[in-house]
Amino acid sequence: MVNKKQIRGVYLVTDRPLCIHHNLAEVVKLAALGGVSFVQLREKETDSRTFLELAKHLIEILRPFSIPLLINDRLDICLAAGAEGVHLGQSDLPWWEARRILGEQAILGLSLETKEDYFSLIHTHPKPELDYLAVSPVFDTNTKTNTKPAWGLMGVTWLKNQTNLPIVAIGGIKESNAEAVIEAGADSLAVVSAICSAKDPKLATENLSKKFHSIKE
Amino acid sequence: MVNKKQIRGVYLVTDRPLCIHHNLAEVVKLAALGGVSFVQLREKETDSRTFLELAKHLIEILRPFSIPLLINDRLDICLAAGAEGVHLGQSDLPWWEARRILGEQAILGLSLETKEDYFSLIHTHPKPELDYLAVSPVFDTNTKTNTKPAWGLMGVTWLKNQTNLPIVAIGGIKESNAEAVIEAGADSLAVVSAICSAKDPKLATENLSKKFHSIKE
């Protein structure tokens, strides 16, 4: 079982169409070898059967490394595959329903798109049973559509100062801005194309991972 | 709790774009007043939050009538909403995973598109823990894409003779062919447009429901 207090480091969010040099399984394996801390399987167009098979395959790859797999949105895929948790957006199932269904051991993360999302969260649940909050997006990005205006680095710092929960930053993060995002307060950097589309996903993961060591250790 | 042995009668499968004269909730309410036996909420394009809200709303409508709501494909929506069961297709989660997750009280139905689907089912599970098998499609239809060749009436009779499980027929069923489908062996008639697009969904449901009385009682 993952120690929930250690949500930190590089967090790969998958996107199969962006896996241009290697297939999904290869990207995930290489990211694991490069020291990725978490992987989130995100599939928006796939049928449930294929989604489940992908999840099971990624768990086979990740479990020897003790790297948790989270599933985007779909609790049922998480339950059927035996994944470690779920990442929820604002249009997904309510996180408290997810917590009730998955139990307290599951890793549960929630994306916040605006400060209002945060206020609305703590208004109803001053101590939400969540394992991290994701600032989404930190920077503008092409990999996700319909997102609200970017939080920026000051948004990361703002959220870090509001909560004791670990902060995952997502959206437009790459090697060149990673240090600034960590310094702004991110405990974890979620990346999509910076690893999925990299010619060398292992090296890309290592380089992002080093940013944590150079700053915080 | 529904008596699983009584899977019989008119089974409404929802399709919001086909609800042209009334909205979804009105169609479901009118179908309930017309004597529908089961309702399946099918949403293929909707985000999870909206799907859940629709499910909860339909449960509010149906529970006073003791009419079970089934969810198409999504176990997580079923669990979060507290619906009575799930209908699974061949590209959805495996039914045995669904049974494990939902427990034995849930209503669980499986669509068979071909005789091979049936043989493959009983090859691995001679006594599958399913509550019905759906013959899909009985007739060619425009409401579902990518379906295999229609089973026809002889297909319904063939499946009825293979199994003790209740048979739900779906695909192209309307008032004019309903009797023939029941006589061929269907225990339940699943309809989409015949109720969703009806000017009078209550009357449409009553007329379909009468076919069971005129034949089997």
CA pseudo-torsion sign A136, A71, B49, B24: positive
To the nearest 10 degrees (0 to 180), the angle between helices B152-162 and B115-124 is: 10
Query: Taking 80 as the threshold, does the pLDDT of residue B58 lie above it?
Result: yes
Query: Taking 50 as the threshold, does the pLDDT of residue A1 lie above it?
Result: no
* Complex-level ipTM: 0.90
> Could you tell me the residue range of the domain that residue B93 belongs to?
4-216
Let me know: does A8 contact A211? Beta carbons within 8 Å: no
Residues in CB range of A174: below 8 A, 6 or more apart: A191, A194
% of chain B with per-residue pLDDT over 70: 94
State the Cα torsion A64-A67-A71-A77 to the nearest 10°.
Answer: 30
Predicted confidence (pLDDT) per residue in B124-149, tens digit: 999 999 999 999 999 987 765 666 78
Total number of domains constituting chain A? 1
**DSSP-assigned letter for residue B29:** H
Choose the mutation target among A53, A93, A120, A145 for the interface with B, i.e. most B CBs under 10 Å: A93
Residue among B81, B84, B104, B73 at smallest CA distance from B37? B84
Is A1 among the domain residues? Answer: no
Is A96 among the domain residues? Answer: yes
- What is the band of A213 on the pLDDT scale with cuts at 50, 70, 90? confident
Predicted confidence (pLDDT) per residue in A97-124, tens digit: 999 999 999 999 999 999 999 999 999 9
What's the token pair of residue A206?
Answer: 């290592």
From residue A91, how far is each of A87, B17, B50, B53 by CA, in Å?
Answer: 11, 21, 8, 11
Is A107 among the domain residues? Answer: yes
Residue of A nearest to B50 (CA): A91
- What is the band of B1 on the pLDDT scale with cuts at 50, 70, 90? very low
**A121 vs B211: CA distance, rounded Å:** 52
| Residue-wise DSSP of B173-191 | --HHHHHHHHHHT-SEEEE
% of chain A with per-residue pLDDT over 70: 94
The CATH number assigned to the domain holding B57 equals 3.20.20.70
Instruction: Give the position of tokens 């909420």.
Output: B41
Q: What number is the average pLDDT over the span B91-119?
A: 96
Question: Nearest CA to CA, how far is B175 from chain A (Å)?
Answer: 32
Let me know: does A101 contact B80? Beta carbons within 8 Å: yes
Q: Does A101 sit within 8 Å of B80, measured CB to CB?
A: yes
